């Protein structure tokens, strides 16, 4: 059933196409336009199967994705490590092929940015920053981040935001037609990259989390990888006292998200336990860390009596503080490292990395 809002938007589209001078003639074709509109603007959600109104058609989704990808590459650039890029691409492809929209031209890319972030563009373009990669401890956590973004694309959360935004702009356009003084309020221009950094709502986040758990488990990784990421980044945020995790600006960390994830995992019929820790560590060795050109990810074998403070000061040459070092390794600040463990370190690029 076409609702009042949808009818108004279809009428507005007719108005934009035919112009106000020909509105009366266009009105005669309203029934036909409604039929066309229902076909193009009412689409089945790939996740729920339910019909929903959208202003982002499949063609528009792909076009916006290509444009956003070009803008991302121009603004930040991609991280210059072909082996690591291919690794992330393969992890993402594996889950995308097992998802509700395997036909999309999926792309998974590492952005050359030190900020801790990940985001999705329409049409299956997924990005993760090298800053976030540095804070992940294994392949299951990487899969968790990518799967969450895949969930947003598959559930058409970006398309829903786009439709709400442009529906509101349509209303303002009508106001401007009849009230010229309001013409400065808004425009129809697409927001480009800004569209990728609008905050998702709580329900969208929980749905993307739920979908991610399914993708991760289906592909054989420990599905708790995603909740481990949220815990680590929550510690990073708390330790700094500032907004150092841009991912939380667009993907709010509500108090119940980790609990909800853990509850979903407990109800899985089968729960894989593979984390892919060693493979992940092999690929991120030498990863650039922070804004400087010389700091890289390396590894250190913990000795008897070592503390985070001592390791950060001596072995790490004071590249990062003790609290950040603990969090970088997935530990609470209060838990000291265990002798014999190989931990991530931040080292100077010219030094030998164990």
The confidence score (pLDDT) of residue 35 equals 55
Range of the domain at 70: 58-156+195-266
Consecutive 10-residue averages of pLDDT for the chain (354 residues): 53 52 51 54 86 88 94 96 98 98 97 95 96 97 98 91 65 45 45 62 89 97 96 89 72 81 92 95 96 89 95 80 94 94 88 46
* 249 within some domain: yes
What are the φ and ψ backbone dihedral angles of 44, each rounded to 5 degrees?
-80, 130
Q: Which helix (H) or strand (E) holds 125?
A: strand 125-129
Asked, for residue 316, whether it belongs to a domain, the answer is yes
Task: Give whole-number Cα distances, 309 to 2, 114, 339, in Å.
Answer: 63, 23, 14
Q: Do 38 and 65 reside in the same domain of the chain? A: no
Q: Are residues 95 and 237 in the same domain?
A: yes
Report CA-CA distances (Å) from 277 to 116, 198, 217, 273, 342: 20, 32, 16, 11, 11
Q: 128 with 221, same domain?
A: yes
> What's the pLDDT score for residue 7?
52
Indicate whether 114 belongs to any domain.
Answer: yes
Name the helix (H) or strand (E) containing 75: helix 58-75
Using CA atoms, how far apart are residues 314 and 326, in angstroms rounded to an integer? 15
C-alpha angle 265/270/276, rounded to 5°? 80
In the DSSP assignment, the letter for residue 110 is E
pLDDT score for 286: 95
CA dihedral 318, 320, 322, 323 (to 10 degrees): 170
Distance CA 236, CA 323 (A): 9
Q: How far apart are CA 192 and CA 68, in angstroms?
A: 7
Q: Is residue 182 part of a domain?
A: no
Residue 70 located in a structural domain: yes
40 and 62 both lie in a single domain: no
- Of 266, 295, 321, at which residue does a domain stop? 266
Tell me which of 266, 297, 313 is where a domain ends. Answer: 266
124 and 37 both lie in a single domain: no
Domain count, the chain: 3
Q: What is the pLDDT of residue 287?
A: 97
Is residue 3 domain-shared with residue 123, that is, in the same domain? no
Angle between helices 157-178 and 4-18 (to 10 degrees): 60
**Residue 135 and residue 226 in one domain:** yes
Residue 79 lies in a domain: yes
For CA atoms 172, 176, 177, 178, the dihedral sign is positive
Together in a domain, 310 and 217: no
Domain match, 211 and 109 both:
yes
CATH number, domain with residue 304:
3.10.350
Asked if residue 297 and residue 261 are part of one domain, the reply reads no
pLDDT, residue 218, reads: 96
Listed in sequence order, the residues at least 6 apart from 319 whose beta carbon sits closer than 8 Å to its beta carbon are: 289, 295, 312, 345, 346, 347, 348
pLDDT of residue 292: 74
Of 215, 231, 266, the last residue of a domain is 266
Whether residues 121 and 149 fall in one domain: yes
Residues 99 and 235 in one domain: yes
- Asked if residue 280 belongs to a domain, the reply is no
Alpha-carbon distance values, 154 to 120, 173, 192 (Å): 11, 30, 20
204 lies in a domain?
Answer: yes
Backbone angles phi, psi at 328, to 5 degrees: -60, -25
Instruction: Report the distance separating Cα 272 and Cα 292, nearest Å.
Output: 38
């Amino acid at each position: 059933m076409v609702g009042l809002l949808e009818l108004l938007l279809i009428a507005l589209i007719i108005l934009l196409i035919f112009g106000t001078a020909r509105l009366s003639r266009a009105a005669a074709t309203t029934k036909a336009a409604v039929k066309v509109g229902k076909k193009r603007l009412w689409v089945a959600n790939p996740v729920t199967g339910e019909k929903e109104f959208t202003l982002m058609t499949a063609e528009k989704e792909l076009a916006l994705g290509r444009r956003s990808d070009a803008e991302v590459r121009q603004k930040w650039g991609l991280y210059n490590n072909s082996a690591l890029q291919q690794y992330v691409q393969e992890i993402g492809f594996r889950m995308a092929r097992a998802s509700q929209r395997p036909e999309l031209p999926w792309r998974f890319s590492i952005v050359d940015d030190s900020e801790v972030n990940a985001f999705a563009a329409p049409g299956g373009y997924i990005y993760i920053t090298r800053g976030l990669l540095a804070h992940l401890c294994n392949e299951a956590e990487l899969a968790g981040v990518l799967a969450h973004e895949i969930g947003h694309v598959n559930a058409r959360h970006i398309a829903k935001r786009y439709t709400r935004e442009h529906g509101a702009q349509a209303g303002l356009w009508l106001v401007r037609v009849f009230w010229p003084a309001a013409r400065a309020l808004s425009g129809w221009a697409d927001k480009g990259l800004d569209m990728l950094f609008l905050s998702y709502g709580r329900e969208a986040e929980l749905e993307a989390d739920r979908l991610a758990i399914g993708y991760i488990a289906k592909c054989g990784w420990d599905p708790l990888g995603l909740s481990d990421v949220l815990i680590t980044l929550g510690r990073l945020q708390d330790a700094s006292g500032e907004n150092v995790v841009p991912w939380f600006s667009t993907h709010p960390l509500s108090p119940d998200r980790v609990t909800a994830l853990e509850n979903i995992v407990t109800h899985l019929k089968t729960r894989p336990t593979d984390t892919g820790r060693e493979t992940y560590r092999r690929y991120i060795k030498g990863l650039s860390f922070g804004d400087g050109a010389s700091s890289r990810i390396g590894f250190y074998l913990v000795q008897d009596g070592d503390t985070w403070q001592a390791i950060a000061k001596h072995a790490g040459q004071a590249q990062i503080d003790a609290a950040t070092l603990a969090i970088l390794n997935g530990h609470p600040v209060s838990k000291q490292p265990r002798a014999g463990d190989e931990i991530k370190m931040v080292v100077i690029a010219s030094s030998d990395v164990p």
